[in-house]
């Protein structure tokens, strides 16, 4: 199984690509910023994530095997149509997993790790969660095995998606050809996803195909007039990987201890990140709405607003 794992196979390529990005940036040939402490944290998170993954991999694979035993159809791993189908379905599941991971605090507590860097380079791609297995989002992929895709096939497709998402964590690539930007997730689209600018918050959840964001109303192009500022709404003041891995879980724990009702406890756990009973904190939606109102007020007329790129671009949420 390990021989077929695209992620394990790609590790040497990851390392070489990071070396290349650093050296080319040093020579002034590409755009990339690396801060050594930040790089250490990203790589330590990646290493820790693969160790933590070993602990839960067995349970996850056993669960998908069990579900597969109760499958509805027999899907051959050798058919091209089966690979096309698993590619599309897996990528759509990834979109909804990723959206859930941003919009509900319990899953955000695990995923936030990936967003804690104020940098955006290939090492950021390896800044992965340690608590993904515990967060249980892997359950979202089980229906694929229930339909009848062999668990190994699903695991390979998940790996392909992860490997694809490595190369897009770079500032070295500006924009890809237009047709590519229309269909695929790209460095430009994913830079927006990692940005903390109000306009860019909680946008572009795509794995490989950006079409899901376009379909479900969460797409936001990168604007020339608005450079991405990377990180999270409240940036971390530490490089300690242990703190990075567990800070949001600890914050949830503290909130739960102080919760005054079951409803508050439930919303602290499963509400939007930034929810609080007294409204003293802000969710991404509230930040964006406040920004949009301010940008709207600052805008003399719609025409000039569009030119300066200040037009609020608030899209309605699609039904979840």
Partner 1 sequence: MPPGEDTALDQAFLIQFTGSMAAVAVLVGLAAWARIGRPAPGLDEARARDLLGEDFPEQRIDQLWIAREGKGALARSGACALVLVQVGDGYAARRLSWCQATSAMFKNGLLDIRLGEVAAPRAVLAFDNWPPADLAA
* Nearest-approach distance from CB 15 to partner 1, in angstroms: 5
Stretch that binds partner 1, among 40-48, 61-69, 85-93, 206-214 (CB under 8 A): 40-48
Give the one residue of 72, 80, 237, 297 binding partner 1; rule: CB under 8 A.
Answer: 237
Classify the phi-psi angles of 32: left when phi > 0, otherwise alpha if psi is within -120 to 50, otherwise beta.
beta
Contact call for residues 127 and 46 (beta carbons, < 8 A): yes
DSSP 139: G
Contacting range for partner 1; rule: CB under 8 A; set: 84-92, 135-143, 200-208, 290-298: 290-298
Q: Which of 9, 29, 47, 65 is close enough to bind partner 1 by CB under 8 A?
A: 47
By CB under 8 A, is residue 238 in contact with partner 1?
Answer: yes
Alpha carbons within 13 A on the beta-carbon side of 293 = 6
Dihedral sign (CA 103, 245, 209, 314): positive
When binding is defined by CB under 8 A, the residue of 4, 29, 37, 76 that contacts partner 1 is: 37
Contact positions with partner 1 (CB under 8 A) in 169-198: none
In whole angstroms, the minimum distance from the beta carbon of 152 to partner 1 comes to 20
Among residues 171, 165, 173, 167, the alpha carbon closest in space to that of 207 is found at 165
10 sits near partner 1 (criterion: CB under 8 A) = no
Interface segment toward partner 1; rule CB under 8 A; list 38-46, 74-82, 95-103, 205-213: 38-46
Q: Which stretch binds partner 1 (CB under 8 A): 102-110, 118-126, 214-222, 258-266?
A: 118-126
Q: Is 35 in the site for partner 1 (CB under 8 A)?
A: yes
Q: How far is the CB of 236 from partner 1 (least distance, A)?
A: 5
Contacts of 124 (CB under 8 A, 6+ apart): 42, 114, 117, 169, 194
Cβ contact 127:116 at 8 Å = yes
Candidate segments 49-57, 78-86, 103-111, 141-149, binder of partner 1 by CB under 8 A: 49-57
Q: Which stretch binds partner 1 (CB under 8 A): 131-139, 154-162, 200-208, 245-253?
A: 245-253
Count CA within 13 A, CB hemisphere, residue 235.
13
Among 1, 215, 290, 317, binds partner 1 (CB under 8 A): 290
Question: Cα torsion for 227, 231, 235, 237, to the nearest 10°?
Answer: -110
- 51 makes contact with partner 1 (CB under 8 A): yes
Rounded to whole angstroms, how far apart are CA atoms 13 and 19? Answer: 10
Q: Please, what is the minimum distance in Å from the beta carbon of residue 19 to partner 1?
A: 6
Q: Could you give the angle at the alpha carbon of 166 between the alpha carbons of 77 and 92, nearest 5°?
A: 50
Tell me the closest approach of the beta carbon of residue 258 to partner 1, in angstroms.
13
State the DSSP code for 170: -
We find the least distance from the C-beta atom of residue 281 to partner 1, in angstroms, to be 11
Task: Considering the complex, state which of residue 34 and residue 184 has its C-beta at the smaller distance from partner 1.
Answer: 34
Is-contact 235 112, C-beta < 8 A? Answer: no
Instruction: List all residues 6 or more positions away from 271 whose beta carbon is below 8 Å from its beta carbon.
Output: 104, 105
How many other C-beta atoms can be found within 10 angstroms of the C-beta atom of residue 207? 21
Going by C-alpha positions, the residue among 262, 259, 236 that lies closest to residue 248 is 236
Question: Of 71, 92, 175, 243, which one interacts with partner 1 (CB under 8 A)?
Answer: 243
Residues 236, 267, 292, 314: which binds partner 1 (CB under 8 A)? 236
- The site for partner 1 (CB under 8 A) is made up of 15, 18-19, 22-23, 25-26, 32-40, 43-44, 47, 50-51, 54, 118-119, 123, 229, 231, 234-239, 243, 246-248, 250-251, 290-291, 294
């Amino acid at each position: 199984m390990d021989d077929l794992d695209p992620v394990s196979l790609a590790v040497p390529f990851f390392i070489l690509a990071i070396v290349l990005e650093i050296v080319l940036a040093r020579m002034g040939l590409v755009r990339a910023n690396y801060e050594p402490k930040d790089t250490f944290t990203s790589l330590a998170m990646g290493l820790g994530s693969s160790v933590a993954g070993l602990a839960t991999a067995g349970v996850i694979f056993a669960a998908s095997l069990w579900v597969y035993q109760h499958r509805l159809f027999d899907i051959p791993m050798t058919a091209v149509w089966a690979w096309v189908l698993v590619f599309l379905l897996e990528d759509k599941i990834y979109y909804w997993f990723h959206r859930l991971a941003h919009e509900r605090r319990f899953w955000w507590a695990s995923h936030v790790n990936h967003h804690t860097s104020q940098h955006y380079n290939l090492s950021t791609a390896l800044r992965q969660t340690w608590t993904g297995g515990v967060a249980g989002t892997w359950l979202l992929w089980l229906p694929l095995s229930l339909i009848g895709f062999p668990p190994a096939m699903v695991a390979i497709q998940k790996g392909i998606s992860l490997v694809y998402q490595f190369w897009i964590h770079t500032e070295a690539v500006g924009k890809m050809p237009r047709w590519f930007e229309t269909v695929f997730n790209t460095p430009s689209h994913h830079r927006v996803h990692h940005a903390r600018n109000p306009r860019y918050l909680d946008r572009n959840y795509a794995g490989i195909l950006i079409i899901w964001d376009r379909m479900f109303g969460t797409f936001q192009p990168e604007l020339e007039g608005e450079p991405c500022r990377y990180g999270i709404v409240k940036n971390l003041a530490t490089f300690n990987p242990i703190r990075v891995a567990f800070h949001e879980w600890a914050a949830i724990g503290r909130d739960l201890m102080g919760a005054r009702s079951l409803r508050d406890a439930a919303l602290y756990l499963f509400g939007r990140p930034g929810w609080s009973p007294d409204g003293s904190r802000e969710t991404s939606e509230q930040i964006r709405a406040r920004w949009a109102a301010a940008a709207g007020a600052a805008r003399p007329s719609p025409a000039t607003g569009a030119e300066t790129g200040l037009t609020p671009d608030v899209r309605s949420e699609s039904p979840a």
